[in-house]
Amino acid sequence: AQSVAQPEDQVNVAEGNPLTVKCTYSVSGNPYLFWYVQYPNRGLQFLLKYITGDNLVKGSYGFEAEFNKSQTSFHLKKPSALVSDSALYFCAVLPSYNTDKLIFGTGTRLQVFP
Amino acid sequence: DAGVIQSPRHEVTEMGQEVTLRCKPISGHNSLFWYRQTMMRGLELLIYFNNNVPIDDSGMPEDRFSAKMPNASFSTLKIQPSEPRDSAVYFCASRSSDGSNQPQHFGDGTRLSIL
């Protein structure tokens, strides 16, 4: 079955420290990969995507993600966390065999402490 | 630049009543998606349209749910009759026609409570 896993329900990090939110996927072919962020009482907002090319993708608000084909991972990273980064983060995969239906992970809540 | 607009933002109604959720996609986007988000089940795709045509409604939970897209700038999701288990946040998203790798853009959702 095609799936996306976000193994951590919650990630806690101190402000100023680097953060990583993990994502692995099990999808055949060469999928497109996305990260979204959701703030309270808001819809999901697009952060970044990997389609092809350089394995390190840079996105909004200083976030970046590293695509690793051998490990089928697409971890979200930021060198220095801000309290305002506290939110719910979703990894999503678009399979090459159906490029309409995003497969979402269950989400990881990031809490950045002052 | 207006994003995806959903109305109402909040809806509280009694079970058995008809509920209609509305969505205006971003102008020029030709794909529209309806999602439901709950704590228990996370984010679920209910139905999506390409060029106003329903493509996949396999996520619609029951016949009580129906969705329409009469034109490129408007879609509705209707629940009739509503039940308490339908309580959730319902999101609409749209996507550009420039290619399938374009991101979906989400509205801020309708928080539905069925009493």
Do A43 and A60 form a contact (C-beta atoms < 8 A)?
no
pLDDT single digits (tens) B55-91: 999 999 889 999 999 999 999 999 999 999 999 999 9
pLDDT in the model for residue B1: 63
Tell me the sheet residues that pair with B54: B49
- Which residue of A lies nearest to B96 if distances are taken between CA atoms? A100
Which residue is listed with tokens 């072919």? A29
Phi then psi for residue B86, to 5 deg, are -80, -5
pLDDT: is B4 or A97 the higher one?
Answer: B4
Structure tokens given for A50:
């990997």
Contact list in B for residue A34 (CB cut-off 8 A) is 103
pLDDT single digits (tens) A35-76: 999 999 999 999 999 988 889 999 999 999 999 999 999 999
pLDDT in the model for residue A95: 84
Q: In sequence order, what are the residues at sequence separation of 6 or more whose Cβ sits closer than 8 angstroms to the Cβ of residue A27?
A: A2, A3, A4, A72, A93, A95, A103
Q: Give yes or no for residue B113 having a pLDDT over 70.
A: yes
Contact list in B for residue A99 (CB cut-off 8 A) is 100-101
pLDDT single digits (tens) A66-105: 999 999 999 999 999 999 999 999 999 988 766 788 999 9
Structure tokens given for B38:
């709950």
Residues B60 and B75: their CA atoms lie apart, in Å, by: 15
pLDDT in the model for residue B97: 73
